[in-house]
Amino acid sequence: MSLRWSPKATHTLSVIGLSALLMASAMKHFRTPSFYNPVVPEYLCRNDEPGGAPNGPLAVMSREEWIASSGLLEVTAAVGLLIPATRKVAADGTTAMFAAFLAGHIDALRRAYGPYGSQKERRIHTLRLPLQIPLILWSWSLRK
């Protein structure tokens, strides 16, 4: 008996793989939110401290709220990918989410190479930014 591998099986395995990765990342948002602190741009973070810098027009949530919200988005995307009826919409949304995350990774890289960035931050963010491209392409490929 030969085992035949079909394109559908490959697609299903790919969906499960990205879904698992998204779920693991989402759980990390809640277990270790500080891991994501550097990739939330300052211009998105509301400043609630008295006498602090004024909030910009995009500063609608605190850093912690942005991290929790993105974790919830990842859970939603992970579940949506697993349901055939919502897979295309979830894949589109996941692609858009990863593309939007590019802004945070670019901002983190900019700060890492700024006057207060460390060598460790430079290494981490130099490696983290290019990882977004395969994630964007992977999620886009699941639209079928």
Domain ranges of the chain: 7-141
Distance in angstroms (rounded) separating the CA atoms of residues 100 and 87? 19
Count other Cβ atoms within 10 Å, centred on residue 94. Answer: 27
Nearest Cα to Cα of residue 129 among 112, 115, 143, 114: 112
Which residues on adjacent β-strands are paired with residue 137?
none
Distance in angstroms (rounded) separating the CA atoms of residues 15 and 84? 10
Provide the whole-model pTM: 0.87
Distance in angstroms (rounded) separating the CA atoms of residues 83 and 67? 25
Alpha helices, H only, the chain: 7-31, 63-82, 87-112, 119-141
Q: Where does residue 15 rank: exposed (0-12), middle (13-18), buried (19+ CB within 10 A)?
A: buried
pLDDT tens for the chain, 144 residues long, are 566 778 888 999 999 999 999 999 999 999 999 999 999 998 889 887 776 666 777 888 999 999 999 999 999 999 999 999 999 999 999 999 999 999 999 999 999 999 999 999 999 999 999 999 999 999 999 998
